[in-house]
Amino acid sequence: MESLLFTIEARRYAIRLAHVAEVLPAVNVQPLSGAPSIVEGAVNVRGEILPVLSLRARLGHPARAVRATEYFILVNARARRAILRSDTTPVIVSLPDVSNQGDEGVDHALSGVLPMADGLVFFHDMDEFIDADELGALTSALSALQPSA
């Protein structure tokens, strides 16, 4: 399975390449009032305001400011385009399919864990990353940014 491999706090994560639109250099994230805690803020990508989803918050990593060495991964999540942050340059790799191999009690967006010789890779399902309530709050917060006609 073609995947995009990236790191956060020295842990490796992967998402299916089919969910990835592009990888961009990181920029400053603007706060997004009314957004759920899973959203760090928003960025403008070529005129499109996109939410920055926080894998750090979802997995209990400490929050921190965006660094110039980071990358943004533009993904399709629940029929919405969004951004994930990566501490390092993401790379495309071919990995075995680990769908539905996540452990019970682990975050609902985790679709599997792949043990490798040099450590674990945690797979995330972008369609499950944000739940329906979070999506509703996010949609409302983004709608508030749109100018009235």
The whole-angstrom separation of Cα 124 and Cα 141 is 24
Predicted confidence at residue 102, as pLDDT, reads 45
Helix (H, G, I), strand (E, B) or coil at 57: helix
In Å, how far are 6, 102, 105, 122, 142 from 136, measured between CA atoms?
28, 26, 24, 27, 10
Tokens of 45: 């990508």
3-state secondary structure 91-131: EEEECCCCCCCCCCCCCCCEEEEEEECCEEEEEECCCCCCC
* The CATH number fitting domain 2-143, selected from 2.40.50.100, 3.40.50.2300, 3.30.1490.20, 2.40.50.180: 2.40.50.180
Find where tokens 């191999």 sit. 101
What is the structure's pLDDT at 111? 79
pLDDT at 104 (0 to 100): 46
Chain centroid to CA 53: 5
pLDDT tens over the chain, length 149 residues? 899 999 998 889 999 999 999 999 999 999 999 999 889 999 999 999 999 998 888 888 888 899 999 999 999 877 789 999 999 999 999 988 776 554 444 455 677 888 888 889 988 888 777 888 888 888 889 888 766 54
- pTM of the complete model: 0.85
Identify the pLDDT of residue 100: 53
pLDDT at 108: 56
